Chains A and B, each alone.
Chain A
């Protein structure tokens, strides 16, 4: 029988939320393109925006230049704004050129930005028009990754939500796994589900457009990423039913996530135990080893990827850390509910940001570890505070059993490093 750790007497679901509306220090949704274009291997992401948007993508990608990337920016110029050039004609021309050069592209996403939205460039109509022009070879969709509407990971949400209405219909009872996962993680999840006897299982997004899932009233879907609120709503509009669960981070998270699916699909308890006991025990052992360094330490989450709540749950329940503040750019009550139930009351839950005031709180609390964006990490380190850059959590395989210890290591490494350098310094003195 599978026995899960007990819930805390009082969780955080009803805890008061500190809502802030000051300066935010987060990426915009365009950033999602950096992992989405790797996941969808026949898709191209064309941002319609400014030089700033192009520069953001390049900077967030670590300024990595590998061959020709499957994303680019159509940079608006003065003549587009002054109405001297018809932006739509220009866009059609750039798209035609691009598709001619990249015959491997089957899906094209026109991605809106702040400038394209402020000048009210209708990318929806552009996508419809371009779909007609380039059918059947290429399907053109659009979504907004703009900073005035989306924060960091919400870009993926907007992208997937834009795909949902175009998915074919089905009456089949299928499980849909939602969220872009690294292939290695996705394969592990599919393998576990197959051994549980759950199926057929489809994925959104699919690696290739030919494998796009169908959706309908008998579809049951589960989110693999916590930031997919709009996609969640779009799937429900297609009649699909969600499976509520904590997210598959850590041994417990993965078990509860799988258990929720198993319950929906009527997997017998002994089969569930037979399939999950082994990997779960292995994950627990591995996490426990890494957690030695984390036990008793405090952690402060600056808002960034919306992974903050599930990660805080993992660190507090499986690694023995205490959370001081769990900041998140946006708190989706329904999706985060199962996670908040698991976190013992205590930490401040904050939504939105006023970065200077939040940094004051960090300095006052002097947590052992602060999870924050790249712009804040070195400044905090230079004040003697250990940090973990949040963006790595989005780019690294961290879901499911076999990555549970890797996830813990991401948090342990900065502490280990500080200890190493500190010890060396002491020895030298």
Chain B
């Protein structure tokens, strides 16, 4: 038993729903009680889908338990087939149905439906959403992919995109364009956008491009073994990784051309002098392992940030995550407990967080700007505009979205010069953010009415905890030093406080005076 307040991932059947909902011509029957139908709103509200997910729920009740839940399940399968006439039926059990052990696969298999019935075994008490999606895709490939001759012209499949995925819609478009630029056709992109009949012809591709290992790797491995298709390991997030991805693809498709890079602006945007202020910004990165590992490299090598902490919530990827962290001289935080993440962020006091919607809330509470780089995400992370994370346009988008929450370069200097100005003061926050300015650490966080953004809850008005001054324990700030610290603009104040305390502690100084503050400042000058 484990106490959980908020979760990064839903249960595995939600992962399976992400696969089914992304596809066309597939229907899923989920053996589950009525409350589990909440999952529909993830797709219709958060992703703004205009169709219901193709899922029928048996919605068994207590009175059915002693009677015939298996009969109910069979009826639901037959009704769903009759009404929706899918090309294939996916069946599985939610956490409650797993306990009553009705064997959905066996029951549906014996109905003699004229379409393939694919059963998923989803252990709800040990696995989570990404597993469910990955497993669903694997089982669809196993059940449907036929042996097949390769296309004459070189082609590949794109594996991993699902409904409710973070920017999957635009990533697929961007990478499809990139590949086509190189002279490579996309045979099938799956699961999102594919039909069961498309899954059947996965084997026609020459190789597979795995964009999201969390939800596509098992299928890629199976296709490698059974259909002899190699697959790409590089995730094309950022300029360098996109170039490395192109090299990897050219290794698999020898005749491929180099793509056009005219639209790539990120390297120059990063090199131009206005971006100097980005140098050594301390960032904390948390999310799913794939996005975090890619973001960490981009942050260090393409933005000139200092990665001050990183980690992921999906334990399945703990090993590569730890290896990468070591390369950065850090210890990876592997946890799905958001309170632990919050504590880590509080301790590190970064100047920017790259995270999920959970970290956005943490950032809001702590007054630290945050850009979202990974699922889970909320309605505002499904923008109307084209906004990929991958490929060259993705690199441009990363630059813009990561820089946006920060204070601009020149503005930073003006704030330092005029910090006592009553209008132009550092509590005002970035001028391009209107009312949505991040609050300085320690002041009351910005809890906004949910209704403003489609959330339905009134805000929690509980007072926010004051951050503990000295993380190290006994360091005391003398009044004049404390006053001086307050004059430092809020976006560097956290760093100044942290450095000074560290500086003091290293020297065995337990009282911070004005002198200590400026000694430390001199020490850390770079």
Q: Chain A: residues with CB nearer than 8 A to chain B?
A: 22-31, 34, 38, 46, 48, 50-56, 58-69, 71-78, 80-81, 85, 87, 90-91, 93-94, 97-98, 114-115, 117-119, 146-149, 151, 356, 373-379, 381-382, 391-392, 395
Contact = CB atoms under 8 A, between A and B. Distances in A.
Interface stretch (B265-273, B308-316, B450-458, B482-490): B450-458
Contacts of B33: 28, 114, 146-148
Contact of B95 (A85, A115, A151): A115
B197 interface: no
B434 interface: no
Contact of B462 (A66, A71, A75, A374): A66
A114 B3 contact: no
Given A28-B35, A63-B357, A378 B462 contact: no
B10 A78 contact: no
Given A61-B456, A72-B3, A27 B35 contact: yes
Given A23-B56, A34-B457, A61-B455, A51 B3 contact: no
B151 interface: no
A77 B125 contact: yes
Interface string B48-75: 1111100011111110110000000000
Interface residues of B, number: 72
18 contacts: A23-B37, A25-B34, A48-B1, A50-B125, A52-B96, A56-B36, A59-B10, A61-B457, A63-B378, A67-B445, A75-B4, A77-B126, A94-B3, A114-B33, A147-B33, A148-B33, A375-B45, A376-B44
Contacts of B450: 62, 64
A119 to B, nearest CB: 6
Nearest to A392: B456
Interface of B: 1-7, 9-11, 13-14, 33-42, 44-46, 48-52, 56-62, 64-65, 76, 79, 83, 94-96, 99-100, 123-126, 128, 338-339, 357-358, 361, 365, 376, 378, 445, 447, 450, 454-460, 462, 464
Contacts of B456: 60-62, 64, 391-392, 395
Contacts of A58: 6-7
Contacts of B57: 23-25
B365 A148 contact: no
Given A115-B99, A375-B52, A378-B44, A356 B83 contact: yes
B3 A65 contact: no
Given A114-B96, A115-B96, A52 B457 contact: no
B76 A23 contact: yes
A118 B99 contact: yes
B458 A38 contact: yes
Contact of B3 (A22, A23, A97, A119): A97
Nearest to A375: B40
A34 B458 CA distance: 10
Most buried by A among B35, B76, B459: B35
A374 B41 contact: yes
Given A54-B7, A119-B99, A148-B96, A78 B123 contact: yes
A318 to B, nearest CB: 25
Contacts of A71: 5
A355 B56 CA distance: 10
Nearest to A89: B1
Contact of A148 (B1, B51, B60, B339): B60
A68 B14 CA distance: 25
Contact of B34 (A24, A73, A78, A392): A24
Contacts of B6: 54, 58, 65, 69
A59 B52 contact: no
B59 A23 contact: yes
Nearest to A47: B4
B3 A63 contact: no
Contacts of A29: 35
B126 A50 contact: no
Given A52-B13, A114-B95, 6 more contacts: A23-B57, A25-B40, A25-B57, A78-B126, A356-B79, A378-B50
Contacts of B124: 50-52
Contact of B1 (A31, A74, A374, A375): A74
A63 B56 CA distance: 24
